[in-house]
C-alpha cells in the first residue's frame, strides 16, 4: 500500500501504546488485509484500521494516511466512511473547511447510518461557523436516517440551536424526545439545556430542578462547569454553595485543581488540588491583603499542615499545603469562605472567581463521540 505506511511504520501501527495483546493482534490482522486481496476489501480494512489507530494509539497522522488511501480507491462504501472519519479528524484539529467538504461527501452515502453521523457532525461544525440555520437543516435531515444514540445527539443539536435562536416550543419538543435511559453525557446535556431554556423564559424553579439533576449525575461531571460558571457569586450563601459544588467536581475527577479568588483582589487566593487526596494551598504566613498568619488561621479551621508545596508546582512553589482530611464538601466550602472573609478580610459581597485546571481544556459545548462506524 504505497503512501500509507512503510514496513517499519507498520510496527508503530500495531505496537507500543496499544490497549493490549488483543488490540495488537486485531491491528496486525487488519494491516495484512490492507496489503492483499480485492481493492474493496483492502479499502474497508484501511478504514477499520484507521479507526483503531485513532482510538487505540491516538495517532492521527497514521489514521489520516490510511483514510487518504481509502478515499483514493474510489470504492464505495469505504470512500464515504473514509470521508466521515477524515472529516471528524479535520474537525478535531480545527480544519473546519476541509472537514465540511469531507462531511458533505459522507452525507451522500447510501448507508443511512453513515449519512446520519455525517449530518450530526456537520451540524456541530456549522455551529462552530455560527451558521445555526444551516445546522438546523442538517440535523433535521439526519433525523430521518438515524437511530439509537445518534438520534439523541441530533435532538440535542436541534434543542441547543432552538435555545440559541429563541424557539421555545421547538426546544421543548426536541428535549422531550431525548431518551433519558441513554444517560451520561446525553442526559447531562439535556438537563443543562433544559435549565438554560427555563431560566431564559423566566421559570427559575423549573430551571433549578434541571440544574440539580445535572449536578447529581456524576457521569456528566464534565458538564458541571458550564452550569457553575454562570452568573455571579457575591453573597455568602451563593459562594459557599458554589465552592461546595466545585469541590464535588474536583473529587469526582472533573479536573486536577481549582483556584478560588476574590475577582477584584486576586491576591486573596486559595488553591485546591486533587493530588494526594484533596489539599489546599495558601500564601505563606505574612501573605495576603491583611498580612494574616495563614498557618495559625487554617490550623484553627481544622486544616492539617502538610508543609511547603513540592518544587515544580509553578505559582505554588513557595506556598503551604494543607489537607482537609475527611471533611465533606460543604465543610471545605465553609472553611474556605471563612478564610476569605475572616482571614483575608474580604467583604460579605466579594465576588468569587473560580479558575479550573483540567488535563485538557474541554470544548465550550459537549461534542458527540467520535464516529466509530466500520465497513
**Averaged over 259-266, what is the pLDDT?**
87
From CA 277, how far away is CA 292, in angstroms rounded? 26
Task: Check if the beta carbon of residue 278 is closer than 8 Å to that of residue 329.
Answer: no
Using pLDDT thresholds of 50, 70 and 90, give the confidence band for residue 341.
confident
pLDDT of 288 higher than 60: no
Q: Read off the pTM.
A: 0.83
Average pLDDT value for residue range 358-364: 71
Structural Rg of the chain based on CA atoms: 25
CA distance 269 to 340: 8
Q: What's the confidence (pLDDT) of residue 151?
A: 96
Least trusted range by pLDDT, from 97-106, 235-244, 292-301, 346-355? 292-301
Q: Backbone phi, then psi, for 282, in 5-degree steps?
A: -145, 165
CB atoms within 10 A of CB 364: 8
Q: What is the pLDDT of residues 118-162, one digit of tens each?
A: 999 999 999 999 999 999 999 999 999 999 999 999 999 999 999
**48 neighbors 67 (Cβ within 8 angstroms):** no
Q: How confident is the model at residue 287 (pLDDT cuts 50, 70, 90)?
A: very low
Cis peptide before 146 (omega within 30 of 0): no
Q: Looking at the predicted structure, is the pLDDT value of residue 313 above 80?
A: no
Amino acid at each position: 500500500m504505497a503512501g500509507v505506511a512503510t514496513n517499519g511504520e507498520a510496527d508503530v501501527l500495531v505496537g507500543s501504546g496499544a490497549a493490549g495483546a488483543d488490540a495488537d493482534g486485531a491491528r496486525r490482522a487488519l494491516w495484512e488485509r490492507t496489503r492483499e486481496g480485492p481493492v474493496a476489501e483492502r479499502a474497508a480494512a484501511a478504514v477499520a484500521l484507521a479507526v483503531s489507530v485513532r482510538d487505540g494509539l491516538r495517532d492521527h497522522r497514521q489514521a489520516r494516511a490510511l483514510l487518504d488511501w481509502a478515499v483514493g480507491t474510489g470504492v464505495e462504501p469505504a470512500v464515504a466512511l473514509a470521508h466521515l472519519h477524515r472529516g471528524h479528524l479535520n474537525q478535531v484539529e480545527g480544519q473546519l473547511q476541509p472537514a465540511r467538504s469531507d462531511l458533505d461527501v459522507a452525507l451522500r452515502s447510501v448507508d443511512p447510518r453513515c449519512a446520519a453521523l455525517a449530518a450530526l457532525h456537520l451540524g456541530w461544525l456549522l455551529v462552530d461557523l455560527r451558521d445555526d440555520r444551516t445546522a438546523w437543516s442538517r440535523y433535521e435531515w439526519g433525523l430521518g436516517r438515524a437511530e439509537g444514540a445518534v438520534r439523541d445527539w441530533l435532538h440535542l443539536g436541534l434543542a441547543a440551536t432552538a435555545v440559541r435562536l429563541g424557539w421555545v416550543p421547538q426546544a421543548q419538543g426536541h428535549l422531550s424526545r431525548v431518551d433519558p435511559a441513554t444517560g451520561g453525557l446525553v442526559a447531562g446535556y439535556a438537563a443543562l439545556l433544559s435549565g438554560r431554556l427555563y431560566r431564559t423564559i423566566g421559570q427559575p424553579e423549573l430551571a433549578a430542578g434541571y440544574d440539580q439533576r445535572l449536578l447529581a449525575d456524576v457521569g456528566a461531571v464534565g458538564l458541571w462547569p458550564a452550569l457553575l460558571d454562570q452568573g455571579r457569586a457575591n453573597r455568602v450563601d451563593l459562594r459557599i454553595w458554589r465552592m461546595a459544588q466545585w469541590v464535588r467536581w474536583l473529587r469526582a475527577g472533573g479536573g486536577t485543581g481549582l483556584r478560588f479568588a476574590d475577582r477584584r483582589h486576586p491576591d486573596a487566593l486559595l488553591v485546591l488540588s486533587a493530588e494526594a487526596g484533596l489539599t489546599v494551598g495558601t500564601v505563606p504566613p505574612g501573605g495576603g491583603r491583611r498580612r494574616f498568619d495563614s498557618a495559625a488561621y487554617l490550623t484553627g479551621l481544622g486544616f492539617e499542615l502538610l508543609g511547603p508545596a513540592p518544587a515544580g508546582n509553578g505559582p505554588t512553589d513557595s506556598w503551604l499545603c494543607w489537607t482537609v482530611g475527611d471533611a465533606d464538601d460543604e465543610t471545605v466550602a465553609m472553611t474556605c469562605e471563612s478564610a476569605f472573609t475572616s482571614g483575608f478580610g474580604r467583604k460579605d459581597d466579594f465576588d468569587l472567581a473560580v479558575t479550573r485546571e483540567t488535563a485538557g481544556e474541554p470544548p465550550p459545548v459537549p461534542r458527540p463521540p467520535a464516529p466509530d462506524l466500520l465497513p
